[in-house]
Structure 1
């Protein structure tokens, strides 16, 4: 059984059949699917999304903007919290280049938001 009380919400615009198929996979097959999807992105000369959810995050919406990625997510903090999930919160995610040529994602907290569908 999952330690998260609510099933994650797929990103906006994701095909329903793909969501249904992914929901049927076990953890090992999901990991393989992630690897294959990253390989396909590289094949198409696309950079992977900077949005990698932390354990306990539920990504509700991802929107690519000029210079950053807008992310709305809810956070589950632990089993003993009666107020979970927290949010939804808005973040701006930017890629930070380093002198060695690598990049890391920088998450800037913007604040709590109301989603249109609520």
Structure 2
């Protein structure tokens, strides 16, 4: 993998070999991989995660909890035409049913994350 700080970091628990293979895929191959992974989830009667990264997101961790998904990620902001990576930020993602019957993810911002504190908490 490259040392580019804007390059997405594989989520915790993803095997290194799989992360390396995904990194080598072209965009159309990545799209097909996503479709196949969603098909496998459906086949195994698992609902897909409500966490869909936006372009420029760098998801550091996704942790499923009862009733919500915890996400820690960097985001890319564009200010005056200049892109910059900011964060990491802590979110809780839930599924929200809309009046038309659709279910969409709802991202609740929890706060900034200090990675030094996070590493201490997890050790």
Above 0.5 in TM-score? yes
- Tell me which residue corresponds to 1:80: 82
* Residue aligned with 1:109, SS: strand
- Tell me which residue corresponds to 1:39: 39
Unaligned runs of 5+ in 2: none
Cα distance in 2, alignment partners of residues 21 and 75 from structure 1: 24
Deviations 1:24-44 (A, max 9, x none): 100010000000000000000
* 2:97 paired with 1:104: no
Higher strand share: 2
* Residue aligned with 1:74, SS: strand
Cα distance in 2, alignment partners of residues 97 and 80 from structure 1: 36
**How many residues are aligned here?**
113
- Tell me which residue corresponds to 2:92: 92
Unaligned runs of 5+ in 1: none
RMSD: 1.8
Cα distance in 1, alignment partners of residues 119 and 15 from structure 2: 18
CA offset at residue 117 of structure 1?
Answer: 4.3
